[in-house]
Amino acid sequence: MSRVWTRDRRVVTAGGRQAAMATELDGEEETAAAAGKLTGSPQLSVEDDLREMAKNAAWSVSSYKPGNNVLSLRDDNLDTYWQSDGAQPHLVNIQFQKKVKLQLVILYVDFKLDESYTPSKISIRAGDGFHNLKEIKTVELMKPVGWVHISLSGNDPRETFINTFMLQVAILSNHLNGRDTHIRQIKIYGPRPNPVPLQPFHFTSQEFISYSTIR
Amino acid sequence: METLMVDSVQNSLRLFMHRNAIFFCERLCAEFPTEVRFELSHFSHYVTGSLATVIVVFAAFWTSMPHSRYLFAMSCFQMNLLQEAEATLCPANEPNAEACFHFILPSYQDEIHFRVVYIVFRICSFQHSLESQYDYILLKLKAFTLPSSLQVPDGAAGHYLLGLIYRYIGRRGVAIEHLMQALAIDPLLWAAYDELCVLGAVEDANEYFSDMAAQHIQKQYLSESNSLNSSNGSEFNNGSSNMSVTFVDSIPRQSKQLLANNAREISSIPPSSAIAKVPASNSGTSNFSQFITPPAATQLSGVAPPPLCRNVHVSFNVANNDIATKSNNIAVQTPRRKLLDEGKLRKVSGRLFSDSVPRRSTRLSAEAIAVASSNATQITSNGNSHTSAKFLGGFSSSSSSSSKVNAASSRSLTFKKGHSWISESFDEGRRSEDFDDSRMENMATTSSYTSMSGDVRYLEQGKTIGDLAQDSRLISGAQELLCLLRTLGEGYWLSCSYRCQEALEVYLKLSEKQFNTGWVLSQVGRLHFELVDYYEADHFFSLARRVSPFILEGMDMYSTALYHMKEEMKLSYLAQELISVDRLSPQAWCALGNCYSMQKDYETALKIFQRAVQLDSRFVYAHTLCGHEYIALEDFENGIKCYQSALQIDQRHYNSWYGLGVVYLRQEKFEFAEHHLRKAYNINPQSSVLMCYLGMAQHALQRNEDALEMLERAIAADKQNPLPVYQKANILSLDRFDEALNVLEQLKESAPHESCVYALMGKIYKRLEVHEKAMFYFGLALDLKPPAADVATIKAAMEKLYLPDEMDDIL
């Protein structure tokens, strides 16, 4: 027990250091969020106005070990994982059927179980297809256990969401210089659509909402 | 041994020991492999609800027995194998079920089958309350075993069933026709009226429950009482041997039995031939009167023979009438004597009644009044005897009880009950609370018809020979009942055509007693629900639940009302309660699904709604709710499918049209959207929400003038609804800024916590380049904590506000 505790503490302090570094690197507040990402949270908690988007997307990976293929990323089972089998960077490609608004990528990794397979540096890229992917976010993880939240929002309020056809999660490096990587789950969140179509804004008051739909 | 076994089976069934019954049925089948026994085993299987077993048993002993065929058809119908049901009902050489019905109707042997099938069907549809289910089972069994039920008159039940089948096959026109016929034969067949309303085929509620109908009821009762008496007569002769008679299938044998048993009223003419000889002038008779009055038929047989199918619909012919009653009166004589002895048996009969009578609803007894009154009129019109209606009624019931004592099973009363039950079963299911009220009275009053008209008559009184005054009172009772039905019918019709306000007024005309019943209260709740007055709806639905805690009718609506009100706790409580009341009812699962949907767990909600669909695939609302969940999950394709299957069941289910409209709005297929929303609007032209959506669709189609007009109408239709006002402002904000701002200022007063209003005001001010105000309103909008997406848009708008032109203005 105590070892776990100390390790956790170490993680926290390391995370802090990491965050400081990140601040120097990227220079903005997003690193504060990055500090939270490093360890991961045991519970998957998402704000109410977001929902999972990638159920109907096409998922592919750059490489995999037989038995640990892309399906393991989406099976809602934390005991299974996708394992890459090739040279870095390892890629997870998510192609949507239409242009979607995305806000959040959450992945489940477990440093305690996967050790050197645990990713340490992840880049998120977006674009219309493979040909024009642009990096929108890079994050570093430090011995994470649990759900790691990676926000896709920029600083500008207009960049709260990214509007894209395709998302790529690239694992640039692993902990302890590991080669292949393990990821247990990936979830992608975007804003809920307005329950009332064609509206510029969501209704917030009970008076409006109770009149806004028929069931 | 045979009799003993049959008795044991029936006793077991009566005591709800189904396993025992099945066990004995099996022994019985093994020992006496007659068709009769299989029938019986059929029944007990059906009772326990193992439809599959019915089918297996049936498949093993498929014969030409109409009984089994009906049962089989019924099973099919229940399991939604409509084609099979139709095919089963149709002999190979008959083109369709309809013809088959007509083919079978004339032979009274089959009349029973209608009844049985009908009852079985009702059982299935009212499985909700277990208690009433048992009643139905009892009734059904009795109807099945009773020879008197052979003489059950109307084809109403049959037409009703056929109407249902056609409705679900999708042949709306034919369905309506049959339902109309059912109602024409039996004006008290509320269920048929209900279906007609749902189908939107009712033009004017009053015509169905007019004085004409009252007369019809009287006539009908006249024929019925005849049959009762005559059957009673034969009953006494037959004793316990009757039972086997009933089961006998072949008509020749039947007629032989009749010959042997029946001394009085029924001539030696086999029923089938009697029917064949019924003249065209007689075509108005109900079936029942036909075989009751074979003498009449033979006397008139010089006239051209009618088509077989004719006998059902038209009203009684007077000439025939007289003859019928003559024979009838003879029949009455003997039983009356019997009746005197009957008094001794009172206690016994009272006990016997207690297991069946209480289950009649008040409406049932109302039916009985009508029946009684018509009986009375019949007799008076003849001038032959002044036996009062009460006498007859009391007689019939008492005789039946006596026969219960005498014979193995009771017949005539149950038949009568079975009949009246049929016509009223619909209400019975809903008005379980009526049971409680009527129970006490009915226990005492074996002739329950009197309880309705206000004077409680006991059997002893009923036995006394009444006078004309009583008859007229009974007639007025019938009219009173019809008056009640008229009110209810009008209310229901109005609510089905979504003229909610008017319907509410009609319901308010009801007496307090009637108003405070579960069915009426839930109807009123539903009306408020349709008027988007969820608080009132909540009030009435909860009242309904208080009056009758086991009510399921309308509870799906209630749960949706709570959903709209975001009453999470109430909703989950309701769902829990409903599940505990009946976990096999679709309403309960709809409520539960709404719970999950409110928590935005659309996938679980969808699963639950799908379960509701599985439980009852004809429950329209569950399909629609499934559709809504699919849409929430953005699976438009499946959503559309769900809506369409809902519309297949009920074209007038506007919620689904609306759902489709919204899907197309979302997909930006605005013309489709407009079309579907207009469909919904045409069905429910008073819904301000629908008008608002229609306006939105028109706006999307760039038809702003139409849209504004529609929105104005929506505003006028419901002053409480802020949405059309907002939409109006939204449209105006494109070019008529001042007007839009005016509208929004007012709206701000009525809905001060709506961030959209402020956001839109901010937007307009921004367009007007009144930056400070724009800023102010955007800020207000943000304070109300809109979701992240809106925060983003508003913040973006705020930044754009200063960035492009006048940066210094802000700084």
Find the CB nearest B754 among A156, A199, A205.
A205
Q: How far is it, in rounded angstroms, from Cα B100 to Cα B88? A: 9
Find the CB nearest A157 among B532, B594, B795.
B795
Cβ-Cβ contacts under 8 Å for A67 (sequence gap 6 or more): none
Which among B583, B648, B643 has a CA at the least distance from the CA of B82? B648
Q: Which residue of A has its CA nearest to B601?
A: A51
**Residue B150's pLDDT is what?**
30
**Residue A182: strand, helix, or coil:** strand
The distance from CA A158 to its chain's CA centroid, rounded to whole angstroms, is: 20
A201 and B793 in contact by Cβ < 8 A?
Answer: yes
CA distance A52 to chain B (A): 10
Contact list, B748 vs chain A (CB under 8 Å): none
pLDDT tens-place string over residues B692-726: 999 999 999 999 999 999 999 999 988 889 999 99
B799 and A158 in contact by Cβ < 8 A?
Answer: yes
B793 and A200 in contact by Cβ < 8 A?
Answer: yes
- What is the DSSP secondary structure assignment for residue A41, as one 8-state letter? B
**What's at A82, amino acid-wise?**
W
**What's at B139, amino acid-wise?**
L
**Residue B41's pLDDT is what?**
59
**Residue A40's pLDDT is what?**
81
Which among B275, B263, B388 has a CA at the least distance from the CA of B327? B263
Query: Could you tell me which residue, B179 or A60, shows the higher pLDDT?
Result: A60
pLDDT tens-place string over residues B345-395: 444 444 444 444 444 444 444 444 444 444 444 443 443 434 333 443 333
**Residue B222's pLDDT is what?**
66
Q: How far is it, in rounded angstroms, from Cα B274 to Cα B576? A: 57
CA distance A203 to chain B (A): 6
Length of chain B: 811
CA–CA distances in Å: residue B419 to residues B365, B391, B476: 12, 19, 22
Q: Show which residues on chain A lie within 8 Å of chain B, measured between beta carbons.
A: 47-51, 101, 103, 156-158, 160-161, 191-195, 197-215
Interface test with A, best of B530, B535, B538, B662 (most A CBs within 10 A): B662
Interface test with A, best of B754, B778, B782 (most A CBs within 10 A): B754
Q: How far is it, in rounded angstroms, from Cα B599 to Cα B452? A: 48
Low-confidence ranges of chain B (pLDDT < 70): 13-14, 16-19, 22, 26, 29-30, 32-158, 220-468, 470, 803-811
Q: How far is it, in rounded angstroms, from Cα B254 to Cα A115? A: 88
pLDDT tens-place string over residues A103-134: 999 999 999 999 999 999 999 999 999 999 99
Q: Which two tokens stand for residue A76?
A: 């809602």
Find the CB nearest B799 among A157, A204, A213.
A157
**Residue B299's pLDDT is what?**
37
Find the CB nearest B784 among A101, A204, A213.
A204
Which among B286, B39, B40, B303 has a CA at the least distance from the CA of B181? B286
Q: What is the CB-side half-sphere exposure of residue B320 using CA atoms within 13 A?
A: 32
Which among B105, B110, B120, B32 has a CA at the least distance from the CA of B72? B120
Query: Could you tell me which residue, A93 or B274, shows the higher pLDDT?
Result: A93
Do residues B359 and B432 make contact, with C-beta atoms less than 8 angstroms apart? no
**Residue B469's pLDDT is what?**
72
> A129 burial class (0-12, 13-18, 19+ CB within 10 angstroms)?
exposed
B722 and A209 in contact by Cβ < 8 A?
Answer: no
Dihedral angle, C-alpha B679, B680, B684, B686, nearest 10 ° = -100
Q: How far is it, in rounded angstroms, from Cα B730 to Cα B228? A: 70
Contact list, A192 vs chain B (CB under 8 Å): 600, 787, 789
Query: Could you tell me which residue, A140 or B316, shows the higher pLDDT?
Result: A140
Q: How far is it, in rounded angstroms, from Cα B53 to Cα A119? A: 60
Which among B787, B213, B543, B716 has a CA at the least distance from the CA of A209? B787
CA distance A118 to chain B (A): 32
**Residue B464's pLDDT is what?**
47
**Residue B83's pLDDT is what?**
59
Find the CB nearest B689 among A201, A205, A211.
A211
Q: What is the CB-side half-sphere exposure of residue B56 using CA atoms within 13 A?
A: 5
Element spanning B227, H or E: helix B211-238
- What is the DSSP secondary structure assignment for residue A117, as one 8-state letter? G
B785 and A211 in contact by Cβ < 8 A?
Answer: no
Find the CB nearest A202 among B690, B786, B795.
B786
**The overall pTM is greater than 0.90:** no
Find the CB nearest B564 among A161, A192, A210.
A210
pLDDT tens-place string over residues A149-184: 999 988 887 788 999 999 999 999 999 999 999 999
Q: Which two tokens stand for residue B374?
A: 């018509």
**E-assigned strands of chain A?**
50-52, 58-61, 82-83, 90-102, 104-110, 119-127, 134-140, 145-151, 162-174, 182-183, 185-191
B788 and A209 in contact by Cβ < 8 A?
Answer: no
Whole-number average pLDDT of chain A: 82
CA distance B689 to chain A (A): 7
Interface test with A, best of B559, B790, B793, B798 (most A CBs within 10 A): B790
Assign 3-state DSSP to chain A and report helix, strand, coil percentages, each to 5.
Answer: 30, 35, 35
Q: How far is it, in rounded angstroms, from Cα B100 to Cα B66? A: 11
* pLDDT above 80 for A9: no
Q: How far is it, in rounded angstroms, from Cα B328 to Cα B375? A: 11
Interface test with B, best of A156, A211, A212, A213 (most B CBs within 10 A): A211
